């Protein structure tokens, strides 16, 4: 839902950043063992396959087995148990903007943040909050440069947090766009949390004229029924730190050369203990995601293919289990968006890499709990019981493939003529620093000694821009 940004997270980002995690960081499924990944578990033989057994209580898993994505969804969004459903909420709101030009440098900035977190006991502040209004202003500028301003501007924001992004974008349009753009625009927030939906109305309502252009729809953006009939008019969709909190599925394979199996969770012997159950791929969403990603296809070239071939031979001699997390929530959301608003332009920002992940599997999440101003990371995703944030890294190459697949373009490329012509999309992936330098005002977030936390501390985040084109061939 939002960017985890505390002094601890910043230090991890600076010290643990891997600019090219795919090539230089060993894939976890090539080097993991059951004892490493489940240090407090035992392995027993089940009716499907080996099942790591987690010894802890959980109210999320009921009498019937559930997929991992359903566990993640409940742990984050369940009205009674979910992390984001608490009345106070984990997202912080600053009383006033930070005056970076009055801070000496990095040390002063970190001390300022430390005071904020101790004062509020908030889990994290979003970047759009920390750097308001400048972060949202850059997004507004990107929209203004790209949108066709001769038609009414329509913006959807999914997971709008406290409403700061919406208010600042409306502010920017009111101050900088031609009057007709602001007068005719519509800004719609799609928010699953009732408490955050109310907070957004309060934030945007600080400027009275914004309220006639803004509304909140309290619903699940992945539910296609909430979008109504297809709307072919151009629009914009903003998703800031949304992908990292979307439900993911988990797949497992006993070795590098055996088929993937989907992971289910079930209670053991009518107790509170929960175990993983491995079944052949049968869930349509998981199967579709595996197909889009081409999980077993070697995308490397040159000398890397030789290494991959040698690794394949080695895996037959010394097989090792592997796990991978699939962004099925992202797939589900983009499928719904492309069908409901096919001419949308998309701006998404999220983590491209997470340091210090202890959970097994490629694209594994961080599961963290904050107590008394300190952040604790869990070694088992099943430890999340509504008091923990679960957030995943975003593989932007996979995001692009999913985006193109949902728009129909990827299928058209693979099998020309079999599918109806699909609108191609222009996509670009930018580091946060590059995005801000292109569309923002970096001088506004610079301290006295030249240190710029927005440019210097967000090395593991990127922006994804995707716009429709009129090219069909």
Q: What is the CATH number of the domain that holds 443?
A: 3.40.50.12710
Is position 283 within any domain?
A: yes
Is position 93 within any domain?
A: yes
Confirm if 176 and 144 have CB atoms less than 8 A apart: yes
Is position 172 within any domain?
A: yes
Q: How many Å apart are CA 103 and CA 214, to the nearest integer?
A: 35
Is position 199 within any domain?
A: yes
Domain boundaries, position 227 = 7-468
Q: How many Å apart are CA 440 and CA 438, to the nearest integer?
A: 6
Q: How many Å apart are CA 252 and CA 286, to the nearest integer?
A: 12
Confirm if 237 and 248 have CB atoms less than 8 A apart: no
From residue 225, alpha-carbon distances to 5, 158, 220, 384 in Å are 34, 16, 10, 29
Is position 167 within any domain?
A: yes
For 184, other C-beta atoms within 10 Å of its C-beta total 14
- Give ∠ CA 408-429-294 in degrees, rounded to 5: 50
Is position 473 within any domain?
A: no
Number of structural domains, the chain? 1
Q: What is the DSSP secondary structure assignment for residue 26, as one 8-state letter?
A: P
Is position 1 within any domain?
A: no
pLDDT in tens, the chain (473 residues): 443 433 333 333 433 433 333 333 332 222 223 233 333 232 222 333 334 444 333 567 777 899 999 999 999 988 888 888 764 556 678 889 999 999 999 999 999 998 887 777 666 788 999 999 999 999 999 999 999 999 999 999 999 999 999 999 999 999 999 999 999 999 999 998 888 899 999 999 999 999 999 999 999 999 999 999 999 999 999 999 999 999 999 999 998 788 999 999 998 877 778 899 999 999 999 999 999 988 766 544 445 556 556 556 665 666 789 999 999 999 999 999 999 999 999 999 999 999 989 999 999 999 998 777 678 899 999 998 888 999 999 999 999 999 999 998 655 555 555 555 555 789 999 999 999 999 999 999 999 999 999 999 999 999 999 999 865 44
Is position 77 within any domain?
A: yes
């Amino acid at each position: 839902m939002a960017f985890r940004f505390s002094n601890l997270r910043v230090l991890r980002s600076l010290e643990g950043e891997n600019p090219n995690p795919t090539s230089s960081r060993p894939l976890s499924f090539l080097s993991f063992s059951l004892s490493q990944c489940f240090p407090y578990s035992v392995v027993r033989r089940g009716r499907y396959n080996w099942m790591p057994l987690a010894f802890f209580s959980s109210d999320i898993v009921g009498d019937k087995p559930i997929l991992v994505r359903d566990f993640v969804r409940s742990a984050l969004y369940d009205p009674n148990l979910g992390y984001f459903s608490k009345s106070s909420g984990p997202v912080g709101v600053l009383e006033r903007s930070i005056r970076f030009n009055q801070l000496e440098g990095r040390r002063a900035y970190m001390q300022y943040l430390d005071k904020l977190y101790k004062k509020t006991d908030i889990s994290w502040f979003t970047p759009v909050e920390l750097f308001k209004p400048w972060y949202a202003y850059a997004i507004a500028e990107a929209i203004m440069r790209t949108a066709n301003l001769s038609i009414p501007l329509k913006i959807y924001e999914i997971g709008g947090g406290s409403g700061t992004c919406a208010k600042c974008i409306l502010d920017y349009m009111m101050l900088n766009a031609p009057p007709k753009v602001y007068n005719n625009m519509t800004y719609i927030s799609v928010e699953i949390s009732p408490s955050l939906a109310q907070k957004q109305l309060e934030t945007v309502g600080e400027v009275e004229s914004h309220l006639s252009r803004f509304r909140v729809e309290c619903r699940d953006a992945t539910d296609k029924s909430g979008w109504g009939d297809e709307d072919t008019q151009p629009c914009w969709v903003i998703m800031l730190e949304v992908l990292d909190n979307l439900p993911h599925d988990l797949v497992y394979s006993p070795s590098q050369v055996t088929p993937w199996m989907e992971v289910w969770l079930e209670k053991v012997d009518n107790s509170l203990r929960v175990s993983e159950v491995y079944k052949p791929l049968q869930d349509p969403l998981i199967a579709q995601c595996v197909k889009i990603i081409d999980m077993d296809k070697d995308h490397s070239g040159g000398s890397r293919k030789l290494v991959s071939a040698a690794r394949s031979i080695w895996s037959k001699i010394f097989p090792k289990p592997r796990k991978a997390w699939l962004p099925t929530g992202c797939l589900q959301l983009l499928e719904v968006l492309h069908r409901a608003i096919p001419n949308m332009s998309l701006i998404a920002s999220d983590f491209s890499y997470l340091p210090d992940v202890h959970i097994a599997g490629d694209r594994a999440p961080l599961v963290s709990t904050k107590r008394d101003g300190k952040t604790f990371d869990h070694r088992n995703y099943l430890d999340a019981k509504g008091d923990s944030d679960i957030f995943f890294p975003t593989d932007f190459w996979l995001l692009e493939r999913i985006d193109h697949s949902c728009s129909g373009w990827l299928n058209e490329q693979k099998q020309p003529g079999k599918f109806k012509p699909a609108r191609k999309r222009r996509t670009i992936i930018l580091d946060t620093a590059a995005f801000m330098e292109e569309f923002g005002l970096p001088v506004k977030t610079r301290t006295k000694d030249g240190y710029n936390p927005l440019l210097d501390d967000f090395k593991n985040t990127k922006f994804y821009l995707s716009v429709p084109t009129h090219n069909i061939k």
